[in-house]
Each structure stands twice: as structure tokens, then as C-alpha cells.
Structure 1
């Protein structure tokens, strides 16, 4: 439960996303694996997952189910880059993880968006709309 008396990062108007592009986390312990997939879930770019079979999958993580300490019961769900089918992979089947794509949210926040909007408004611009930046 959230404590209303604390004033952490989550209570700010927005927060900067950690820049994880190129990050290759250690997956030596269950705690490191859980931490890596928590970060993968927040990452707004593609990841490359290398399976213990030697195969690899590149795609966008949209969900993870990690309520258990048993890694064979935890899964990450992703949209593979070259397929329209969703994929589910057990944590216990993963040998390595790499944050290979560009994170479109890195260094951005709602607070920065509001600041940019207010600057345009103060400059007297009309019909202000702040469009999303291109993803490349």
C-alpha cells in the first residue's frame, strides 16, 4: 500500500526513465533475474533474449508474471520483432538478456512535456499541441 506521507520519485509530476540502451544485466541470481525483467518491462525499446538452447528472440516486452520465487513459474511476454504472434518465455529458460533497442522514453518525463508546453504558451504561441517525437 502506498504511504501518503512519503515523498518519493513516484509522487513527482513525472520521472526520468533510466537509460538502459545497451545494458546487459547479470542473471546470476533469482534476485538479479527479477530485477532485470522489472527493468525490461519499463524499457520502451526492443530487447534481445538469449535462450539456454542458444536461440535468441528480439522483441518488445509488454508483460511479465513474476509472483513466484520459482523461476520456472515466472514468465516474460513479448511481441517478437519479426512476428505478429505474442510469445511467452519462462525465466528459467533464459540465459541472457540485452537491452538492444532504442528506448523512446529515456530521459523524458511528463514534467518535461509540461515545461515545453508552458514555454510555448508564454511565448504567445496559439493552438499549441506538443506532438510526440518521431521514433526513427
Structure 2
């Protein structure tokens, strides 16, 4: 005798709950105060999650513009590092938290670029009778 296996309702893709999207904090243009170790760590945590470029100014005055793609927390600021793809280089930089004097949050590259916006643009073009249209990403500037 063979047993019949039934799939629970939760496995049905049409009945699976979809979680709401993550609301991004508007950090564009923000220059956080970095007076304490905890403020430096909190600001770099936000910089890591940020969808745009960051300008890091070192304590020696050197500026680095780029996208933070990794962070390596340690036991102290001098043992913690943030990794950055510079805007004008293919080199990956590693900068100690202890060497950072200032952070500046640049343009949020993903702000306003939602699927719904793209679909609305497509529908407007289609309604206007345009041909050979597709859903193309917006320029990053």
C-alpha cells in the first residue's frame, strides 16, 4: 500500500505570507557627529547599509570617496576596519575605524528607483503608442 503525501497549505506559494519591505532611512547629505567610539561604530554601521557613496576623511586629512562594501569589527576602533571601493579606482581600500575623522553620506543611488516606478513608466509609454519599449534601469548619473 502506498501512502498519499499531502503538502501543507503553508507550502503553497500563493498562501505564503510576504513580509513588508525594509524602510531605508534618508541619510543622503548626513554628516554624523563622531565624538565617541559608540558614535563612530553606529555611523559606520549605517554607512555599511547605505545604498550610495560615502566620503571618509581620515584624521590626516586624506579623503576617500566610494562605496562601503564590508566592515570588520574588532575589539577596539584600531582593530576594526571598513572596506571601500573607491569611486576612481579598482583598488579595494581598508580603513581603520580609529583613523576616521569624518563621514559624509553622498547621493543615495537607489532612492526613488522602485519596480512600481519602472512599471508606471512602461505603461505610460505603451499608452502613448510607443514601440520597442522595455523596462530599462535609470542612469546612475
- Give yes or no for TM over 0.5: yes
**What is the Cα deviation at residue 130 of structure 1?**
3.7
**Is the 2:57–2:100 contact (alpha carbons within 8 Å) kept by the matching residues of 1?**
yes
CA distance in 2 between counterparts of 1:93 and 1:135 reads 30
The TM-score normalised by the length of structure 2 is 0.69
Name which of 53, 59, 72 aligns with 1:52. Answer: 59
**What is the Cα deviation at residue 116 of structure 1?**
6.0
**Is the 1:78–1:86 contact (alpha carbons within 8 Å) kept by the matching residues of 2?**
yes
**Is the 1:61–1:79 contact (alpha carbons within 8 Å) kept by the matching residues of 2?**
yes
Gaps of 5+ in 2: 1-18
1:37 aligns with 2:44: yes
Query: 1:49-101: CA deviations, max 9, x gaps?
Result: 111111111111111112x34111111100112221100000001111111x3
| Map of 1:15 onto structure 2 | 22
Gaps of 5+ in 1: 1-10
Q: Secondary structure at the match of 2:48?
A: helix
Q: Secondary structure at the match of 1:102?
A: strand
| Map of 1:103 onto structure 2 | 108
**Is the 1:76–1:89 contact (alpha carbons within 8 Å) kept by the matching residues of 2?**
yes
Give the total of aligned pairs: 119
Higher RCO (CA-CA < 8 Å; seq separation 6+): 1
The TM-score normalised by the length of structure 1 is 0.71
Q: 1:128 to 1:71 in 2, by over 3 A?
A: same
| Map of 2:79 onto structure 1 | 73
1:61 aligns with 2:68: yes
Q: Secondary structure at the match of 2:43?
A: helix
**Cα-Cα RMSD:** 2.7
